[in-house]
Structure 1
């Protein structure tokens, strides 16, 4: 049985293009603005995620091993 993250990856590969095709069929428009909007939203989301990680990440501290003491 595949792990839940494999189901998630499979659903992203199938459902995202399906949703875009259904939207295009329901309301035909130029693909350029849609691609630009998708790209900008992805970039903003990635930058927000990186900012959260940098703001909440605590640097690791090195602990000496028993051999070094």
Structure 2
């Protein structure tokens, strides 16, 4: 099942910039258009937790040492 288009219109990155997210249906992920973080969609539920996101490669992606 795909995510509801109306839901996709209001979803945003949970980081401070709140940029729109791009849905990748085949990969079941949402990618931030600003920082490039990748958020998984599990059982048709977007997991928008910064701690669980994969690092981004977008224009403002930070190289965090951790």
Task: State the TM-score bracket (shorter-chain normalisation).
Answer: under 0.3
Output the TM-score relative to the length of structure 1. 0.22
Q: Give the structure, 1 or 2, with the largest relative contact order (CA under 8 Å, sep 6 or more).
A: 2
Max radius of gyration: which structure?
1
Output the TM-score relative to the length of structure 2. 0.23
Structure showing the higher helix proportion among its residues? 1
Structure showing the higher strand proportion among its residues? 2
